[in-house]
Copies of this chain bind each other. A is one copy, B any other.
Amino acid sequence: MDSFDFYSPTYFVFGRGRENEAGAYVKKFGGSRVLVVYGGQSAKKSGLLDRIQASLSTAGLYTAELGGVRPNPRSGIVYEGISLCRRERIDFLLAVGGGSVIDTAKAIAMGAVYDGDFWDFFSGKVPEAALPVGTVLTIAASGSEGSPDSIITHEQTLEKTAAEADCLRPKFSILDPALTESLSPFQTACGITDIMSHAFERYFTNTPHVETTDRMLEGVLLAMLHEGRRVLEDPHDYDARANIMRAGMVCHNDIMGVGRRQDWNSHHLEHVLSAVYDCAHGAGLAVIMPAWMRYCVEHHDGMRFAQMASRVFGCEMDFSDPKRTARAGVEAFRAFLRTIGMPLSFEEIGADAKDIPKLVEMNHIGGGVTGGYVGLDRQAHFEIYEIAAGMR
């Protein structure tokens, strides 16, 4: 096991109706002038924003609003939010939404207290300070409610990159599983895919002797196979949604990832897809992750995939040919994704095999290798996209 630091100071508030406590928590964490950041009209129509406004106003807080954050959020709205914060002397950001809204709020929070261009933080500079952020989560997926990350796509270049710093971890996050009941089956399944990918990206490691974390990750993956099927049978199954939201909460604050080298290649391979085709991040992952797995099984000894196949997907271990078991595990994951209605091919997300050279270009590999469980050079990137496009 590797040495590590682990720090996750977010206060999690979990349960039905708890968004009505938003005002009290903003106050507890020092806010007085609050910018509420949200996405489309659904939060307004459902009455959620009204209830949160009522809670903020009961707590005696001044509020301003910034709506219209879209999935795969872009830099434009971040600049807009930064101006608004300065104009309104905002001291707290409350994100009401999913990963896109939270990531936008985090980017605004950094930019509002920084003299330069906020994009610096998405080009390698580490922010030293940010306005405090709280969240009311409406989709279990990104884990941004407990993470130190923000992912934004540049308006012009379509570059989709991440900023990371402890000061970006939300002060509090309110997780009400009932708020996710209005999501479509497709959005729900995208969330499950994202959560599972956050587990897999930590699971595939060359760091030896990480049994405790392996077992925890396998546990969450097993739970997702169970709860994913349940929630798609009955979208109003509160408990299934609670288990999924609970998994999202632990899968990306890194309690499941410390002490090992991780592999974020499939996330990077996907970011290009959702940036170019504006597909849902979870949908892009459903196409890329199995392709990445198929590639990796053939370029490694396969034992870790065999472990996943055996422990998570219940595949019988083939002791004379562990790679057979490994491959069976990858196909079982693919079959599960299909069960919950996820796309599996380039076609299904509107991607075009002809674009592959451009996609590879956007990954900025140059002559190098992107590190991970299996290091990927330029040729490997081509091959994985080609597997995803059904060309191999």
Q: Which residues of A are at the interface with B, using a C-beta cutoff of 8 A?
A: 1-16, 18, 177, 208-220, 222-223, 226-227, 239-240, 242-244, 246-247, 250, 255, 258-259
Please determine whether A4 and B8 come into contact, CB atoms closer than 8 angstroms: no
Can you list 17 A-B contacts (CB < 8 A)?
Answer: A2-B15, A3-B14, A3-B15, A4-B14, A7-B12, A8-B9, A14-B259, A210-B243, A211-B227, A212-B220, A212-B243, A212-B247, A214-B219, A215-B218, A216-B220, A216-B250, A218-B219
Closest-CB distance, A6 to chain B (whole angstroms): 4
Closest-CB distance, A217 to chain B (whole angstroms): 8
When C-beta atoms are compared, the residue in chain B nearest to A256 turns out to be B216
Q: How far is the CA of A243 from the CA of B244 in the complex (A)?
A: 26
State the 9 A-B residue pairs at the shortest beta-carbon distance, nearest first.
A3-B15, A215-B219, A209-B239, A219-B219, A9-B9, A1-B242, A6-B12, A212-B223, A212-B243
Closest-CB distance, A362 to chain B (whole angstroms): 35
Q: How far is the CA of A302 from the CA of B18 in the complex (A)?
A: 34
Closest-CB distance, A73 to chain B (whole angstroms): 27
Q: How far is the CA of A226 from the CA of B307 in the complex (A)?
A: 15
List of B residues within 8 angstroms of A246 by Cβ: 1, 212-213, 259
Closest-CB distance, A117 to chain B (whole angstroms): 30
Closest-CB distance, A48 to chain B (whole angstroms): 18
Please determine whether A5 and B9 come into contact, CB atoms closer than 8 angstroms: no
When C-beta atoms are compared, the residue in chain B nearest to A221 turns out to be B215
List of B residues within 8 angstroms of A1 by Cβ: 177, 239, 242-243, 246
List of B residues within 8 angstroms of A213 by Cβ: 246
Contacts A1-B239, A14-B6 given; does A222 touch B215 at CB 8 Å: yes
Closest-CB distance, A128 to chain B (whole angstroms): 15
Q: How far is the CA of A15 from the CA of B260 in the complex (A)?
A: 12
Q: Residue A13 contacts which of B5, B215, B222, B226 (CB distance < 8 angstroms)?
A: B5
When C-beta atoms are compared, the residue in chain B nearest to A227 turns out to be B211
Closest-CB distance, A3 to chain B (whole angstroms): 2
Please determine whether A227 and B250 come into contact, CB atoms closer than 8 angstroms: no
Please determine whether A243 and B209 come into contact, CB atoms closer than 8 angstroms: yes
List of B residues within 8 angstroms of A239 by Cβ: 1, 208-209
Closest-CB distance, A375 to chain B (whole angstroms): 24
Please determine whether B211 and A226 come into contact, CB atoms closer than 8 angstroms: yes
List of B residues within 8 angstroms of A10 by Cβ: 7
Q: How far is the CA of A309 from the CA of B212 in the complex (A)?
A: 19
List of B residues within 8 angstroms of A223 by Cβ: 211-212, 214-216
List of B residues within 8 angstroms of A222 by Cβ: 215
Q: Residue A5 contacts which of B5, B11, B212 (CB distance < 8 angstroms)?
A: B11
Closest-CB distance, A311 to chain B (whole angstroms): 9
Contacts A209-B243, A212-B227 aside, 13 further interface pairs with beta carbons under 8 A come to: A1-B243, A3-B15, A4-B12, A4-B14, A7-B11, A8-B8, A14-B259, A209-B242, A210-B243, A215-B219, A216-B250, A242-B259, A246-B259
List of B residues within 8 angstroms of A16 by Cβ: 3
- Point out which of A6, A213, A223 has the most chain B C-beta atoms below 10 A from its C-beta: A6
List of B residues within 8 angstroms of A177 by Cβ: 1
Q: Residue A209 contacts which of B2, B215, B240 (CB distance < 8 angstroms)?
A: B240
List of B residues within 8 angstroms of A226 by Cβ: 211
List of B residues within 8 angstroms of A215 by Cβ: 218-220, 222-223
